[in-house]
Amino acid sequence: MKNLAPAIFPPKGIGDAKPSNRAVLDWVHEIATLTQPENIFWCDGSERENEFLIAESLKQNVLIELNQKKVPGSYLHRSNPNDVARVEQFTFVCTPTKQEAGPTNNWAEPREIYAKLRELLRGAMRGRTMFVIPYMMGPADSPLTKVGFEITDSKYVVLSLRTMTRMGEIALRRLGDDPSAEWNRGVHSLLDVNPERRFICHFPQDNTIISVGSGYGGNVLLSKKCLALRIGSYLACKQGWMAEHMLILGVESPEGRKHYVAAAFPSACGKTNFAMLIPPAHFKGWKVTSVGDDIGWMRIRDGRLYAVNPENGYFGVVPGTSYKSNPNAMRSIAHDTIYTNVALTDDGDVWWEGKDGDPPAHAIDWRGNDWTPQSKEKAAHPNSRFTTPMRNNPALDPDVEKGEGVPISAIIFGGRRSDTVPLVYQAFDWSHGVYLGATMASETTAAATGAVGRVRRDPMAMLPFCGYNIGDYFQHWLDIGKRLSNPPLIFNVNWFRKGADGKFLWSGFGENMRVLKWIIDRCEGSGGALKSPIGWLPSPHDLDLAELDIDHNAVDELLGLDHEEWQKEIAAHKEFFDSLGGVVSEELQRQRDQLAARFKP
Ligand code: GTP
Ligand code: SPV
Ligand code: MN
């Protein structure tokens, strides 16, 4: 079976970075007793360790070497074809009561599911190596920073976490020897990579994650969706901060005025691209820098929100990435990158749909089969991904390691909507902004298994990632607002509105700078806007569209409100809130009534 490589035996000095914290050692002992590995490999994230694991992964076909002249330090991994995306139907929040998990999460009773997982894990690592990975989420000196340990039997996970987190000694130092210190326990085993034995389980009260039966991305890099978002959001609510599915970017004017914004878009809806935006030529002197591309942790300081990116690398969507759409991503993934499920060309390079230039005459597709441009199948899986260190990004923000975080001037929500939702508009105030987030919707993408292109409500882009009751989550947002004397302004964007011809009306990518500029203008109190029933809307002349090839009708359509569509939209908001079974506060219900009333003549 693919991925299920036998034990490896490292030379002296590798794999022996045993931590000293008693609580960690006791837990590792407990899991090893259960899973019965051949040996235990204590990871330290060092260069030597990494080289050893890459060499072993190549021997065992966990990685395929790419042409080191074309993509130095880079490798290809093929996941099991039954295992190519997050599995929301097998993801559980296991709180003592179902009510704590809330109406949007799958729930399992902790004692029962622990027992079931224990049976699945019993002897699961026989003949194999168990890796123990210490890692840290957040800059070394941030009050928000968390320590986690992931136990895994996958070398791909070890190699990926080294890029995605701050791994090794730095995490052990942060944790220290206090056995009662807060840290996250993550257990992962591939088992036999069978969808019928695939469960991603979160125990917020125990700060514990158990993931079995998958080898893919968000299911197994437990630092990311599992800790930084699901467990993170639960801790954030308890501890008074925010854990959000948000990119963070810096934008600096030619005069040197700098703002930071955070944006929540659902999976595969443009966070990485927005975080790495390069302004078009017309915006000479403007600079955009990336703090993070997927997750933002925010806390209140002096009445403002400050954000850090807990991650250390990018696990980004490959298809569609090109020098035309996202040059900073292309430069980031030009070296020291693990590619998952892209195509392999005959000269050992990688290829995917949407890459610059012509498709290769022949390649090996993501499943390992021959591929030519005539093939009906895609060469790269639509959810194929790159894993690359954030340090590779030429536009990395200089304050990415700043422990106090960066001050957030604006929060932006956005989804994939072919109709109804204008290119950009601004909430009247914080509570109204929370309503925009709570009712946002998006067409589903290949980032999770299941139907693609179905409009679903995805509040704050957190539907699959909120680790507790969504009603309490909305309330937490409202409560945070009450503690902010200088709250970020809140906006909603939609890069994906389509015209009658079914084509995108907006060219997107770098051109999104035009929308970002209006947002910054609003933050500085200068941008013009009209009061509309849904919020402050720019009129066409409020947006800087100079040197953009777009016709007036398209702009009108992009900024237009179709009252009939909005009647349907408001009804859908109501239907969504009703479906949550009474957990939505009166304040948000009132926002809906006010929205409906503003549409009445
Ligand atoms: P996750 O990593 O799943 O959280 O995704 P993400 O939100 O970071 O999305 P990403 O930036 O990787 O973009 C996903 C897809 O949307 C890619 O195929 C992009 O090419 C496409 N995309 C991103 N930005 C735009 C845009 O402004 N306009 C259009 N039309 N497509 C975009
Ligand atoms: C997402 O789906 O939002 C991702 C990719 O960022 S994964 O890590 O697989 O969840
Ligand atoms: Mn994401």
Please tell me if the CB atom of residue 383 comes closer than 6 angstroms to any atom of ligand 1. no
Query: Given a cut of 50, is residue 302 above it in pLDDT?
Result: yes
pLDDT at 133: 98
Please tell me if the CB atom of residue 328 comes closer than 6 angstroms to any atom of ligand 1. no
Please tell me if the CB atom of residue 447 comes closer than 6 angstroms to any atom of ligand 1. yes
> Region 226-237: what's the mean pLDDT?
98
Closest ligand to the CA of 275:
1
Closest ligand to the CA of 249:
1
List 166's β-bridge partners, or say none: 136
Residue 274, token pair as written in the block: 């927005």
pLDDT at 111: 98
Candidates 43, 269, 466, 523; catalytic one: 269
How far apart are the CA of 18 and the centre of ligand 3, in A?
32
> Region 359-388: what's the mean pLDDT?
98
| Type and span of the H or E element at 563 | helix 563-579
The tokens 């968000």 sit on which residue?
Answer: 218
CA distance 341 to 316: 12
**Can you list the positions of beta strands (E) in 67-169?**
75-77, 91-93, 106-107, 129-137, 146-152, 166-167
Instruction: Read off the pTM.
Output: 0.98
With a CB cutoff of 8 Å and minimum separation 6, the contacts of 46 are: 168
Q: What is the DSSP string of 393-442?
A: -TTB-TTTT-TT-EEEEEEEEE---SSSS-SEEE-SSHHHHHHHHHH-EE
| Type and span of the H or E element at 305 | strand 304-308
pLDDT at 584: 97
Closest ligand to the CA of 322:
1
pLDDT at 601: 81
Question: What does the buried/exposed string (b/e) look like for 523-553 if buried means 16 or more CB atoms within 10 Å of the residue's CB?
Answer: beeebebeebbbbbbbeeebbbeeeeeeeee
Whether residue 106 contacts residue 94, with contact meaning beta carbons closer than 8 Å, is answered with no
Give me the phi and psi of 91, to 5 degrees please.
-105, 130
The preferred substitution site among 225, 272, 416, 449 for testing ligand 2, maximizing ligand atoms within 8 Å of CB, is 225
> Region 479-498: what's the mean pLDDT?
98
| Helices and strands: H and E segment counts in the chain | 16, 31
Query: Given a cut of 70, is residue 3 above it in pLDDT?
Result: no
The preferred substitution site among 317, 443, 507, 514 for testing ligand 1, maximizing ligand atoms within 8 Å of CB, is 317
Question: CA gyration radius for the chain?
Answer: 24
CA distances from 374 to 70, 172, 245, 359 (A): 25, 52, 38, 11
> Region 149-167: what's the mean pLDDT?
98
How far apart are the CA of 358 and the centre of ligand 1, in A?
22
Report DSSP state, residue 266.
-
- Three-class SS string for 509-560? HHHHHHHHHHHHHHHCCCCCCEEECCEEECCHHHCCCCCCCCCHHHHHHHHC
Within 13 Å of residue 490, how many CA atoms lie on the same side as its CB? Answer: 23
Residues in the chain: 601
**Residue 169: Cβ-neighbour burial (10 angstroms; 0-12, 13-18, 19+):** middle
Query: Given a cut of 70, is residue 2 above it in pLDDT?
Result: no
Report which protein residue has its CA nearest ligand 2's atom 8: 218
| Type and span of the H or E element at 98 | helix 98-101
Q: What is the DSSP string of 438-454?
A: HH-EEE--TTBSS-SS-
> Region 450-470: what's the mean pLDDT?
97
How far apart are the CA of 269 and the centre of ligand 1, in A?
4
Question: Which tens digit of pLDDT belongs to each residue from 305-326?
Answer: 999 999 999 999 999 999 999 9
Question: Which tens digit of pLDDT belongs to each residue from 16-45?
Answer: 999 999 999 999 999 999 999 999 999 999
* pLDDT mean across residues, the chain: 97
50 Rama sector, left if φ>0, alpha if ψ -120 to 50, beta otherwise = alpha
pLDDT over 70 percentage in the chain? 100
CA distance 435 to 422: 16
The tokens 């443009």 sit on which residue?
Answer: 270
Please tell me if the CB atom of residue 495 comes closer than 6 angstroms to any atom of ligand 1. yes
Please tell me if the CB atom of residue 267 comes closer than 6 angstroms to any atom of ligand 1. yes
CA distance 432 to 233: 21
Question: Which tens digit of pLDDT belongs to each residue from 79-121?
Answer: 999 999 999 999 999 999 999 999 999 999 999 999 999 999 9
**Which residue from 554, 40, 537, 516 is spatially nearest to 288, judged by alpha carbons?**
516
Report which protein residue has its CA nearest ligand 2's atom 3: 267
Please tell me if the CB atom of residue 160 comes closer than 6 angstroms to any atom of ligand 1. no
Whether residue 193 contacts residue 120, with contact meaning beta carbons closer than 8 Å, is answered with no
pLDDT over 90 percentage in the chain? 99
Please tell me if the CB atom of residue 386 comes closer than 6 angstroms to any atom of ligand 2. no
**Which residue from 394, 442, 392 is spatially nearest to 414, judged by alpha carbons?**
442
Report DSSP state, residue 86.
B
CA distance 361 to 358: 9
How far apart are the CA of 314 and the centre of ligand 3, in A?
10
The preferred substitution site among 245, 269, 388 for testing ligand 1, maximizing ligand atoms within 8 Å of CB, is 269
pLDDT at 5: 86
**Which residue from 127, 118, 138 is spatially nearest to 187, judged by alpha carbons?**
118
Please tell me if the CB atom of residue 314 comes closer than 6 angstroms to any atom of ligand 2. no
List 314's β-bridge partners, or say none: 388
Tell me if residue 190 falls in helix, strand or coil. coil
How far apart are the CA of 86 and the centre of ligand 2, in A?
7
CA distance 174 to 157: 22
- The minimum-distance atom of ligand 1 relative to the CA of 321 is 20
List 426's β-bridge partners, or say none: 491, 536
With a CB cutoff of 8 Å and minimum separation 6, the contacts of 495 are: 270, 414, 416, 423, 504, 506, 508, 512
Question: Which tens digit of pLDDT belongs to each residue from 40-71?
Answer: 999 999 999 999 999 999 999 999 999 999 99
With a CB cutoff of 8 Å and minimum separation 6, the contacts of 259 are: 250, 251, 409, 410, 520, 523
Alpha helices in 263-410 (DSSP H): 271-275, 327-332
Question: Which tens digit of pLDDT belongs to each residue from 243-267?
Answer: 999 999 999 999 999 999 999 999 9
Query: Given a cut of 90, is residue 4 above it in pLDDT?
Result: no
Strands 287-292 and 424-426: unpaired
- The minimum-distance atom of ligand 1 relative to the CA of 245 is 4
Is 269 a residue of the active site?
yes
How far apart are the CA of 225 and the centre of ligand 2, in A?
7
Query: Given a cut of 70, is residue 1 above it in pLDDT?
Result: no
The preferred substitution site among 273, 278, 293 for testing ligand 1, maximizing ligand atoms within 8 Å of CB, is 273
Strands 129-137 and 146-152: antiparallel
CA distance 266 to 442: 7
CA distance 518 to 538: 8
